[in-house]
């Protein structure tokens, strides 16, 4: 017996489908609008959703997109409509719908589709973390636009940025729907012919060039000219620029130049702080969906605290903190004090950032100032009045300084 959610604004169709499915031994939940469906989906995890496209409050395609973006598309969804076009059906399939039923729905077609959907293990797999629906901050919105612009090219692409950026999340934006995306720590230990066959028509992602040994570099050099013939695009990431990569990581400079034919700089998390609340909520929702923790949600104050933290460890650090909160918070709602506790546990009292003696004075000073104000903002929970008081800076000067350093401006109200 499966639990099936039927979403349709027509009471006759809801009752008919409910009766048919109940006779087959299934447990049926009914929703007459997208709003009802959202609430039911938050409380339960249906094994299958039959979703009408045309509804009065929000259409089924919009709801499907919401579930996909929030990590809640962990069940097969079959769309239903009596007026949909082929384009609509194709779009629904691209977003993640398993199938499409045209109204009036024939009984045998309904039962066959439901049976097939419930046997589809891939449709029930939890989706991976995605930044596709994010982009409140200009820095993140811009890099997504640039990736979209570069998506049509088959040339190798080098992503540059700080460690902990989870560069594969950005690389996945280049992959066409349902195209392969091949990555992993042991990637280059596989036979090149098998690797190219797996990645044909998709992306081959190298997670960190600075960690590749000589043998792995030789394999990558062998793969590079053959990738285009297999319609495979090589995308790689490096926390070091190409010159430093060659000097300090002993990376083949000629290979680096070929991999960096196109190069795109990824912004650190502190430069898209506006998106941190959405990212954290998405990470938490995925842990809940995977049943890795009890039902959890963030309080607004907790999300604000996460937004104002400096995140020197970038997305890897954010993911670690969210997992900590998901497992250790005592109540269903994660509160401000929970976030403060988790961040404080990771702080090293009195520890200064590594002095970058090989950098120009201005860059070294800016690096210190950034860490200094990141810590102040985190300790004072984004309160600008308290940060100004502790730093000894006048408020207007403080705002200018934070903006120049690319740090988020904290709360302006007095606390």
Residues 6+ apart with CB under 8 A from 278: 133, 134, 136
Those residues with Cβ within 8 angstroms of residue 66's Cβ, 6 or more apart along the chain or in another chain: 38, 72
Out of 1.10.10.60, 1.20.1560.10, 2.130.10.10, 3.40.50.10470, the CATH code matching 352-415 is 1.10.10.60
Joined together, the tokens standing for residue 45 give: 């995890």
Does residue 184 surpass a pLDDT of 50?
yes
Give yes or no for a contact between 272 and 139, defined as CB atoms under 8 angstroms apart: yes
Q: Which position has the token pair 């989906």?
A: 41
CATH superfamily to which 3-124 belongs: Response regulator (3.40.50.2300)
* pLDDT of the residue at 404: 81
Q: What is the distance between the alpha carbons of residues 106 and 44, in angstroms, rounded to a whole number?
A: 28
DSSP string for residues in 22-62: HHTT-EEEEESSHHHHHHHHHH---SEEEEES--SSS-HHH
**298-324 CB burial, b ≥16 within 10 A, e <16:** bbeebbbbbbbbbbbbbbebbbebbbb
Residue ranges, comma separated, of all CATH 3.40.50.2300 domains in the chain are: 3-124
- Minimum mean pLDDT range among 55-69, 99-113, 149-163, 264-278: 55-69
In 272-347, where do the E strands start and end?
297-298, 333-334
| CB contact burial 19-53 (16+ within 10 A = b; e otherwise) | ebbeeeebebbbbbbbebbbebbeeeebbbbbbbb
Distance between CA atoms of residues 2 and 46, nearest Å: 8
If we measure between CA atoms, which residue out of 280, 285, 277, 279 comes closest to residue 71? Answer: 285
Provide the pLDDT for residue 86.
76
Q: Any idea which residue has 């609008």 for tokens?
A: 33
Residue 279 tokens, joined = 């990212």
Look up residue 80 and give its two tokens: 């239903």
| pLDDT for residue 58 | 85
In the chain, residues under CATH classification 1.10.10.60 are 352-415
Residue 176: DSSP 8-state: P
Q: Rounded to whole angstroms, how far apart are CA atoms 33 and 39?
A: 10
Contact 318, 342 (CB under 8 A): no
Q: What is the DSSP string of 349-400?
A: TTPPPPP-TTS-HHHHHHHHHHHHHHHHHHHTTTBHHHHHHHHT--HHHHHH
Of the chain, the percentage scoring pLDDT greater than 70 comes to 93
User: pTM (2 decimals)?
Assistant: 0.67
DSSP state of 411: B
Q: Is the pLDDT of residue 99 over 70?
A: yes
How far is the C-alpha of 235 from the C-alpha of 263, rounded, in Å? 10
Q: How far is C-alpha 151 from the geometric centre of its chain's CA atoms? A: 18
Please give the full DSSP string across 181-246, using - where no structure is assigned.
EE--TTGGGS-HHHHHHHHTTSEEEES-GGG--HHHHHHHHHHHHHHGGGT-EEEEEESS-HHHHH
Q: Which residue has the higher pLDDT, 381 or 357?
A: 381
Kindly report the CATH number that applies to the domain delimited by 270-346. Answer: 1.10.8.60
Residue 414 has pLDDT above 50, yes or no: no
Residue 126 in tokens: 């939890």
Mean pLDDT, the chain, rounded, equals 87
pLDDT digits (tens, 9 = 90+) for 314-369: 999 999 999 999 999 999 999 999 999 999 888 755 555 555 565 677 777 877 88
Q: Encode pLDDT of 223-251 as tens digits.
A: 999 998 889 999 999 999 999 999 988 99
CATH H-level, domain 138-265: superfamily: P-loop containing nucleotide triphosphate hydrolases (3.40.50.300)
Among residues 232, 149, 146, which one has the least CA distance to residue 183?
232
> Which residues face 238 on adjacent strands?
160
- Residues of each domain in the chain carrying CATH 1.10.8.60: 270-346
What is Dmax (Cα atoms) for the chain?
76
Parts of the chain belonging to CATH 3.40.50.300: 138-265
């Amino acid at each position: 017996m499966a639990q099936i959610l039927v979403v349709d604004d027509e009471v006759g169709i809801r009752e008919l489908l409910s009766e048919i499915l109940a006779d087959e031994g299934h447990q049926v939940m009914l929703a007459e609008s997208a709003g009802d469906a959202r609430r039911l989906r938050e409380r339960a995890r249906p094994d299958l959703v039959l979703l009408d496209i045309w509804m009065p409050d929000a259409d089924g395609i919009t709801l499907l997109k919401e579930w996909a973006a929030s990590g809640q598309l962990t069940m097969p969804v079959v769309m239903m409509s009596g007026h949909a076009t082929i384009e609509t059906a194709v779009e629904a399939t691209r977003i993640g719908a398993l199938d499409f039923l045209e109204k009036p729905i024939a009984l045998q077609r309904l039962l066959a589709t439901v049976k097939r959907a419930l046997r589809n293990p891939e449709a029930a797999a939890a989706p991976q973390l995605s930044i596709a629906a994010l982009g409140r901050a200009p820095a993140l919105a811009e890099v997504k636009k640039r990736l979209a612009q570069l998506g049509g090219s088959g040339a190798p692409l080098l992503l540059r940025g700080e460690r902990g950026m989870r560069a594969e999340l950005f690389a996945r934006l280049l992959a066409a729907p349902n195209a392969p995306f091949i990555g992993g720590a042991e990637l280059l230990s596989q036979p090149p012919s098998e690797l190219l066959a797996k990645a044909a028509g998709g992306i081959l992602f190298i997670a960190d060039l600075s960690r590749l040994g000589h043998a792995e570099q030789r394999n990558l050099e062998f793969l590079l000219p053959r990738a285009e013939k297999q319609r495979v695009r090589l995308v790689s990431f490096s926390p070091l620029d190409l010159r430093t990569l060659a000097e300090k990581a002993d990376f083949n400079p000629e290979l680096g130049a070929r991999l960096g034919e196109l190069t795109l700089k990824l912004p650190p998390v502190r430069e898209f702080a506006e998106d941190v609340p959405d990212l954290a909520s998405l990470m938490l929702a995925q842990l809940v969906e995977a049943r890795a923790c009890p039902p959890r949600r963030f309080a607004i104050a907790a999300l604000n605290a996460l937004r104002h933290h400096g995140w020197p460890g970038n997305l890897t650090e954010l993911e670690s903190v969210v997992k900590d909160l998901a497992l250790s918070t005592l109540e269903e709602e994660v509160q401000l004090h929970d976030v403060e506790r988790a961040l404080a546990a990771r702080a090293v009292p009195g520890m200064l950032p590594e002095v970058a003696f090989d950098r120009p004075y201005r860059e070294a000073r800016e690096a210190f100032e950034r860490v200094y104000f990141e810590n102040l903002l985190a300790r004072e929970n984004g309160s600008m009045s308290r940060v100004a008081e502790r730093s000894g800076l006048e408020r207007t000067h403080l705002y200018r300084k934070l903006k120049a350093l690319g740090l988020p401006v904290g709360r302006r109200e007095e606390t």
